[in-house]
Structure 1
C-alpha cells in the first residue's frame, strides 16, 4: 500500500489527533493546521510562501506531523519518516508503513566489493527524494527528472502525489472525480464506510487523479486516476509474526505512469522495463510459482498461505468489498495469486523509500538476502560484498522485521517468488 503523505497539523493540533486520518478524515482538514491564517502568523511567514504554509515548503509542512520526533523506537500510526537524530551509524529508520520510511534517504553505505573496489549505496538512491528543507531532505543531485518521465526532481514533494486538499473521491459506483457529493470519510481502510447516495469516500491515501496539477509548479497534469486499494487499520507495524497485507486491486502502475510513463511503454507500445500493470497478468505458470515458492529450494507452498508482503500483487479488481475482505494485519487472509493477478510497480518497489537501491523491497544487488541463516551484516561475519555496509539489524528492519528463519539459510533474490529460478 502506499502510505499517506498528507497535510500536517500545527504543534497544538498534532497532540490532539492520534492519527493523521483523524485530522483529514479523507478530505480537507482545518485550514490553520497547514496555513498561517492570523495576521501575526502571516507577518512572520511573509517570506516563506505565497500561500503561507507553516513549513518552509509543502513537504516540510506535511512532516511537521508525519515525521516522528518523540524519540520512539517503535513504529507509530501515521508517521512516514524517522527523525534524523535517530539515524546514526548502524541505526535503522523506525517506521514500517507499507510505503516505507523516508529516513532511508539519509542512510549511506560503503563497502569493498568482490573485485576489491569500493562500492556504495547512496541514501538518495533509496527512494523518492522529496524536498523538505526544514527536515534535511533535498532534491536528487544526479537524477534531475523522473525516470521515464518529465517531472523535475527539484519540484518533488508530498503534494506531487497526494492532493493536499483531498478533493478526489470515490462514488458508490466506483467512479472517481474531484467534485460532487461530499467526502464523508477516508476510503483507505477496512473500516471505511461505504459511499452512498449522500456521500463519497476519499481515494486511496488521498492520491490525486486525472487533471491534477500540484502547486509546486512542475507543469505536469495527471492522466490516470488513483488505484483501487485498501489497507488494514493497523499498517505501521513489525511483520515478524504476520504480514501487513494491503489489498491492491488495480491501477497502481497506471497511476505511477503519471510521472514515469516511459518506464511502462516505449513508442511501439512494448514495455521498456519489467512488465507491469493491468496487462501484465501472472498467467498460470507464474501464479503457480508464486503459490508454491516458500524460500530458495523450497517449492512446497500452498495457495492458501502463499502471500508475502515483500512481493505483493494486484488482484485485478476494483470491488470495494472484495478489497476490504482481503486486507489484514492478523494473518486472516494469506491467499496467493491466480492467473488473473498482475504485477505492479509496488510488487518490487516501495512507494516512498526502502533500505536498498531503487527503493526495492529486498536487496536485489546482493547474491544472498539471508546468509548462513541470518541477515548479513557488518556485525556478524557476513562477507563484505553481501553485508554491503549495513548491520544485520538494519537489514532486518529493511525487511520489516521478518524472521531470517522464515527464509532459506542461503536465501537468494525474491524475484524467485514469481520466477522460481532458485
Structure 2
C-alpha cells in the first residue's frame, strides 16, 4: 500500500470515529435533558446525596439509611459546607484514639510553648486585678516558706526523676522549729488557714516522694497509681483537690460523639465547689461541674528522631518565623516544612486520648466555651485547653462537622511540659494551680 492510500484509509477511519463520537454525545445530551425536565432541581440535589428507595445501595430493606463506608460525604448548604465523617473513623474506646481522630473532628491542635500556663487559663477573660493580686501574694508567701526552701535544695542534684535518690531528700526533712511553728508569724491572718493546709500537704508530698524513690531503689516498679498519687498530693498543696474523682472511684462513662457511643474515663477530674451544698450535680453524672480533666502517664516523655537538635540553618529559619510559629503550630493540614515545630513531648496516642477526654467533659465545664486539661508524664505537667462553641460541639456530637477557616475551628491548645521538681518550672505551675483552685470555689 502506498503512503497516499494509507493516509486515505486513516482519514476515513478518523471520520468514522468522529461521527460515532458525535452521535453518542448527542444521545447522552438528550438523555440528560429528559432526566432534568422530569426531576426538579431541589429533588435532584437531594437525590444526589442519598436515594430513598428501599433496597438501594444507600438504604436497607426497610428504607433506612446505611452507615457510609466512605471517609466522608459532603452536602452543600448556603454559606457553609457540612462534612459527615464515617462512623467507622472513631474507635468505640477513648484509649484507642489517636491524634488523627481529633483532627478528623476538625479540631485544630495548637502548640503554644511560649504561653505561660496562667496566661493559657486566663485567655479571653476580663482582667481581674483582685484575683491577680491574691495569686501573686500567695505565691510570694509559698516561696518564702521553709518547706519550699527545702525543696529548692534539690536543684543542685536534680537532673531527672529517674536519677533522683531518696538520700537527696534528707534536706527536705523539717527541723524542730518548723514542726512547732507550722504557720510562720509573717503570714497575714486572712491566709493562715490556706497556709496551714499548704503546710500539711507539703509534708505529705515529701513523705510520698521519699516512699516512691525507696520503692524504686528496692527493685520494685513505680506504677501509674504511684505517679498519680504523688501528683495529686503536689496539686493539693496549692488547694487543687480531686475529691472522689480519681482511680479507682472514677467509673467508665459513655458519651455520644459523631452519632456513636464512645466509652472512656479520665484519670483525674478536678470538680467545682468541693464540699458545697449548693453545687448542682446533673442527674446520672458522677461528679459536679468540671474545672479540669487530667491524664496521667507513668513514663516520662520519649523523644523521637524528629526531635533531634535543629541545625543552625533551621534555627535561623525558625527565628525569622518565630512571630508566626511560636504561638500557633497546627495539625497535619498545615505545611510539612514545620515538622520540627510539632509537639515533641506528646505522642499521637496521648493527644488523641486526652483530646477525647476533654471533649467528653466539655458539657460539664464551668467556663463558657472552653475546658482545661492537664497531662502528667512522670513529674512533668503539660497544660491544655479545648476551646469551641456550643454549636461546634453539637455538630461533633451529631456528626455534622463544619468545614471552616482555621480561625473558626475548635482548638486544642497545648503548652510545653513543666517539671514540678525543678524550681524554674515550678514557678509557673504554682500560679496556675492557685488559679485552678480558685475556680474550684467560684460560682460562675
Q: Which of the five TM-score ranges fits, normalised by the shorter chain? A: under 0.3
Computing the radius of gyration from Cα coordinates, the structure with the larger value is 2
More helix by share: 2
Of Structure 1 and Structure 2, the greater strand share is in 2
Please report the TM-score for the alignment, with normalisation by the length of structure 2: 0.22
* Structure with higher RCO (Cα < 8 A, 6+ apart): 2
